[in-house]
């Protein structure tokens, strides 16, 4: 694996907005080739077009294992290898458990946990064969702290940390790095997935008061990738300076 960011092949799930889009922009500007996955193909195509020859768009639903494999296969077929798998796609329809929004629990489990696992399942055989690679999985401050209304979302983000730490230990023989990034409040489209008006108002207020730009996340990704190959940044937790919780 080459060191730094330039010329690395990076697959990004959830690249159609927010954190994934910001990471794609920064990494492409730093010379990486980015393979963009999400469901909104129009947004992905526009971004890929803006980034020029350094990007391709692949319509992907991360809840479908075959589609995630096709995304990774496209990167390997197109560019010969896969250096970084950024498992970023996520949803956050927060609500209190007693509201029994069971369909939304299912959706969070499918996207936030199974989507990450499908990303690992697709990328790991490639990285093992290369004897090189880097997983970056997106958790959250909610993967460290639970509050009322965030129980199920937090559970999915705790899960991302647990499986990332197990993965980290298991892939040592293959020279694979594993990073978990846990952002605080970053202004993106994430609150749009909240259907409970009380939770939506709480999160919108937090974003309005303290939220920071998605470029904060992109720089954390770039920091992890740009370390020398023998340095594995395992966890990054960052918040807006003004965020208390
Ligand atoms: N913003 C924050 O404050 C914050 C804090 C901590 C953690 N996070 C985490 O950061 C990650 C990115 O979120 P964001 O803040 O950037 O929100 P966002 O702007 O809503 O972006 C979410 C991304 O996930 C994609 N996605 C959702 N469901 C998908 C599916 N089934 N298949 C493929 N892609 C899917 C969306 O694309 P499509 O709709 O086009 O599929 C979109 O690109 C999430 O894992 C989130 O939990 C965010």
For residue 186, what is the DSSP state? Answer: B
Q: Which of 89, 157, 180, 215 maximizes ligand 1 atoms within 8 Å of its Cβ, making it the mutation to test the pocket?
A: 89
Q: How far apart are CA 242 and CA 230, in angstroms?
A: 34
User: In a structure prediction context, what are the per-residue pLDDT tens digits for the chain, which is 245 residues long?
Assistant: 568 999 999 999 999 999 999 999 999 999 999 999 999 999 999 999 999 988 999 999 999 999 999 999 999 999 999 999 999 999 999 999 999 999 999 999 999 999 999 999 999 999 999 999 999 999 999 999 999 999 999 999 999 999 999 999 999 999 999 999 999 999 999 999 999 999 999 999 999 999 999 999 999 999 999 999 999 999 999 999 999 98
- Can 207 be counted among the known catalytic residues? no
What is the phi/psi pair of residue 62, to 5°? Answer: -70, -10
| Residue 237 DSSP SS3 | strand
Pairing of strands 84-87, 9-13: parallel
Closest C-alpha to ligand 1, atom 45: 90
Task: Kindly list the protein residues whose Cβ atom lies closer than 6 A to any atom of ligand 1.
Answer: 13-20, 38-40, 60-63, 88-92, 111, 138, 140, 183, 185-186, 188-190
Residue found under tokens 């209304």: 149
Closest C-alpha to ligand 1, atom 8: 140
CA of 107 to the centre of ligand 1 (A): 12
CA of 92 to the centre of ligand 1 (A): 8
**Geometric angle at alpha carbon 113, from 186 and 228, rounded to 5°:** 65
82 burial type by CB count under 10 A (0-12 exposed, 13-18 middle, 19+ buried): buried
Q: How many CB atoms neighbour CB 164 within 10 A?
A: 24
| Residue 131 DSSP SS3 | coil
Q: How far apart are CA 187 and CA 19, in angstroms?
A: 9
CA of 190 to the centre of ligand 1 (A): 6
Residue 144 vs residues 21, 47, 238: alpha-carbon distances, Å: 24, 32, 12
- Residue 245's pLDDT is 85
Question: For residue 89, what are its two tokens?
Answer: 């796609």
- Residue 1's pLDDT is 52
Catalytic residue among 153, 174, 207, 245: 153
Q: How far apart are CA 10 and CA 55, in angstroms?
A: 10
Q: Which atom of ligand 1 is nearest to the CA of 19?
A: 16
Strands (E), the chain: 9-13, 33-38, 55-59, 84-87, 133-138, 176-183, 235-238
> Which DSSP string do the residues of 31-51 spell out, in sequence order?
T-EEEEEES-HHHHHHHHHHH
CA of 52 to the centre of ligand 1 (A): 23
């Amino acid at each position: 694996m080459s060191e730094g960011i330039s010329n690395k092949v990076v697959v990004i799930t959830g690249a159609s907005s927010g954190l994934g889009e910001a990471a794609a922009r920064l990494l492409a500007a730093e010379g990486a080739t980015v393979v963009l996955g999400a469901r909104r193909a129009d947004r992905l195509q526009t971004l890929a077009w803006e980034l020029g020859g350094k990007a391709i768009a692949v319509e992907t639903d991360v809840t479908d294992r075959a589609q995630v494999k096709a995304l990774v296969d496209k990167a390997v077929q197109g560019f010969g290898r896969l250096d970084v798998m950024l498992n970023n796609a996520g949803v956050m329809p927060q609500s209190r458990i007693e509201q029994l929004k069971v369909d939304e629990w299912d959706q969070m489990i499918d996207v936030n946990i199974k989507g990450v696992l499908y990303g690992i399942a697709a990328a790991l055989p490639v990285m093992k064969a290369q004897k090189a690679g880097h997983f970056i999985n997106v958790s959250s401050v909610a993967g460290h702290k639970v509050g009322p209304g965030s129980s199920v979302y937090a559970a999915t983000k705790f899960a991302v940390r647990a499986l990332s730490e197990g993965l980290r230990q298991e892939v040592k023989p293959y020279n694979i790095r594993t990073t978990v990034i846990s952002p605080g409040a970053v202004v993106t489209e994430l609150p749009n997935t909240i259907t409970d008006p009380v939770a939506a108002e709480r999160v919108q207020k937090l974003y309005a008061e303290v939220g920071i730009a998605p470029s904060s996340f992109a720089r954390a990704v770039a920091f992890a990738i740009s370390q020398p190959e023998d340095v594995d940044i395992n966890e990054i937790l960052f918040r807006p300076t003004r965020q208390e919780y």
